[in-house]
Structures are given as structure tokens and as C-alpha cells.
Structure 1
Amino acid sequence: MGFSNLRIPKLCEFCEKPFEAKKVTARFCSKYCSEKSGKRQKQLAKEMEARQTLLEKSVSKIADIQTRPYISVSEAVTLFGISRDTIHRLIKSKKIPAINLGERLTRVSKIDIEKMFTAVEMPDKSKEIPEKPNFEVGNCYTISEISSKFYADPGTVTNLIKRNKIPTKKVGSFVYVPKNLIDKIFDGK
């Protein structure tokens, strides 16, 4: 069998360093990288299998929990994805009524916890059409005019403009801000 002088520039799949491969099928720069890659693949497969078995256990447990009106704290953790400390804090602040049947036998009403997670309708902001800034003469304030009119510090006014994302226009050393947007903020709208 003949010897090949073929050198193919490649990147190692494990350490991502460039190397010259002697074969077209080479994937790693060394035996060390090859072994480490194999170990990583086995570890990822093991983790995926562990997640899958945990998910299967959780599905059967959740189905059982959903049929009962009162559940334990650990079952509430599984069902709602809340930490155990949060549930105990809610019980202590009396936001969730609980029944203590003995040591480690605290039961909470599933309906009361579900009420805490009811969907809150958020107003649709897409209906509001943002006003286009009007930078014409007479329709703008400067920072100093805003601070003198509303008795606010110029630094506070600048922070307010940034926080509310109000468009500005700089002409020379003056920063102009649309009157209508500033008036809305200081009127509390």
C-alpha cells in the first residue's frame, strides 16, 4: 500500500483549532480530542435520557394532582413551577389559605393558587398610533425652557426624556424637544 503526501486543512470538531488532516474523513486533530468528543456525546445522551424520564414521571404525577382539590406544597411546586419557599411565603402572608394536618402535611387549595395565575388582559398597544414629533419653530422646548417652566432640574429633565424615549433634535448647542410630548408627561398623561 502506498504512502500519501496529502495534507488537507481542517478545523477540529472538538477544540476548533486548525490542523492538517492526512485523510478526508478526519474530524479531530488528535486522539485526545476524539476521546473527549465521544465522552461529551455520551454525557449529552445520558442527560437527555434523564430529562425524558423526569418528564414522563412529571406527566403522570401532574395528571394525578389535577383531579384533587387540595394538594401538598411539593405537589404545588411540581404543578405550578413555583419554588417551595415562595409557596410558604404566600401561605405565611395569608395570600393562599392552607390547612396544616400535621408535620409536613400542609395542604393548599389548588383553586386558590390557580386564581393567582389568572390571565391579566394587557391593553393592545398596537391600536395606539404614536404621534410624529413636530420639530417646527414654536412647537418645541429647549431643555432650559422645560426646566424653568416646570421647575425641574435640567439633569432631571434629560433623564426624563431618555426614560420616556422622547425624540430630540440637536441644533448647535440647543436640544429641542416636542412640546406636545413634554406637556403630556408633566400633565401626568
Structure 2
Amino acid sequence: MGFSKLKIPRVCEYCSKPFEAKTVMTRFCSISCNNKAAKENKTIEKERVEKLTLLKNYAIKIAEVQSREFISVSEATVMFGISKDTVHRYIKRGIITGVNLGSRLTRVKRSDLEDLFSSVEIPDESKVEQNKPTFEIGTCYTISEIGEKFHADLSTVNRIIKRNKIPTKKVGSFVYVPKDLIDKIFEGK
């Protein structure tokens, strides 16, 4: 490729300094920038190849670990993303089955760990809505009616309602509470 008499303004791809290129294909401002960029590309490629070979080598080990019933604590930390201390704490609490075969030879049951990370069932909202009390006329007390019926102070009634998480409904200046829930609480006392 021949040189032109034109000076083409460029920016070096390695050091980002502006320079005047003599050819259209010039990418770097100097030979040293070219060598440094080439060396950097070689190391990046070498790291990529190392990662791929590492994955290929460990693919067999990963498949083997997933087929075993008992695995080491370090394998459990890698597979499930939890710390060694957490695994040992679960063993002490009896949450997972662990066997100590000697110094640094603790094995845990893989199925117990998998059960810990299984999906959690969320209750249907339709079942929760059935338990909601109705605030119809005749099925509710007001706070003052509760105090008169059970001979309790109004602050005590309010405290009992809050402590037992009894649902209330405020209409105007009156607070209504379901009769059946209040009767259960005061009958037990």
C-alpha cells in the first residue's frame, strides 16, 4: 500500500492521542502503541482460552457432583452459593443432614440442600379473602359497647384490639369490631 501526501487526522486506538496518519489503514500513533495493543489482545485471548478449557475440564466434575448423594461442604458452597459457615450452621440446627468423616471431611446430603431452595407456595388470595370479617349491622360492636358489656376501660379495649390484630372499620366517629372475634377473646379471659 502506498503512502499519500495527505495527512489523515486520526486518534490512536491504544493511547487515545490525536496524530496524523500517512495511510488510511493506520490505527496507532507509534510502533510502541501497536506492540502494546497487540500484547494486550494476546493476553485477553489467552485468558478467554483458559476459561473455556477450565469450563470443559470442570464440566465432568460438575456432572459427577450433581449425581452424588453426599457432597463436601466446599462443593455445596459452590453449587448453592452459600457460605461454609451457613452450611455448618444448618448442620448444627438439624436443617440438613451432615456426616463428619474426619478432619475437614464433612459431607452433606445434596437433596436436603435442594429442598431448602425449592419453590415456595404462595397461598391463593381467594382463601385469604374468605377469612375477612363482615361489618354488617348486628354483627359488630362499637368500642364503647365492648367496654360496657365486658366492664373494661376503653384504653384496655383498644390495646386488646391492637395486640390481637382484630380488624376494625371506622364509620364516622364510630369504630366497629366484629362480635365473634371480641367474644372469643373476652370469653377466654
| TM-score, normalising length: structure 2 | 0.56
Distance 1:85 1:30, change over 3 A: farther
> Partner amino acid for 1:46?
K
Give the number of aligned pairs: 122
The runs of 5 or more residues in structure 1 that have no matched partner are 124-189
Q: Once the two structures are aligned, what percentage of the paired residues are identical?
A: 53
1:54 equivalent in structure 2 = 54
Distance 1:3 1:11, change over 3 A: closer
- Give the deviation of 1:85 after TM superposition: 4.1
- Give the deviation of 1:17 after TM superposition: 2.2
CA RMSD of aligned residues (A): 2.4
- Give the deviation of 1:119 after TM superposition: 2.7
Distance 1:32 1:120, change over 3 A: farther
Distance 1:94 1:54 in 2: 36
Give the 4+ runs in structure 1 shifted more than 6 A.
Answer: none
Distance 1:69 1:80, change over 3 A: same
Distance 1:30 1:93 in 2: 65
Distance 2:86 2:8 in 1: 58
Q: 1:16-55 deviations in whole A, cap 9, x for unaligned?
A: 2222111111011112211111111111111111111221
Query: 1:146-157 to 2 correspondence within 5 Å?
Result: none
- Give the deviation of 1:3 after TM superposition: 6.7
Distance 2:122 2:51 in 1: 34
2:21 equivalent in structure 1 = 21
Distance 2:80 2:116 in 1: 11
More divergent stretch after superposition (26-35 vs 89-98): 89-98
Could you say which structure has the higher helix fraction? 2
2:98 equivalent in structure 1 = 98
2:87 equivalent in structure 1 = 87
Query: 1:24-173 to 2 correspondence within 5 Å?
Result: 24-120=24-120
CA contact (8 A) 1:73 1:107 kept: yes
CA contact (8 A) 1:58 1:78 kept: no
Distance 2:20 2:92 in 1: 66
- Give the deviation of 1:114 after TM superposition: 0.7
2:187 equivalent in structure 1 = none
Q: 1:121-152 deviations in whole A, cap 9, x for unaligned?
A: 679xxxxxxxxxxxxxxxxxxxxxxxxxxxxx
CA contact (8 A) 1:62 1:78 kept: no
SS in 2 for 1:66: helix
Q: 1:59-111 deviations in whole A, cap 9, x for unaligned?
A: 11111112111111122233334343443344345443311011111000001
Distance 1:102 1:51 in 2: 34
| TM-score, normalising length: structure 1 | 0.56
**Larger Rg, first or second structure (1 or 2):** 2
More divergent stretch after superposition (55-64 vs 102-111): 55-64
The runs of 5 or more residues in structure 2 that have no matched partner are 124-189
2:159 equivalent in structure 1 = none
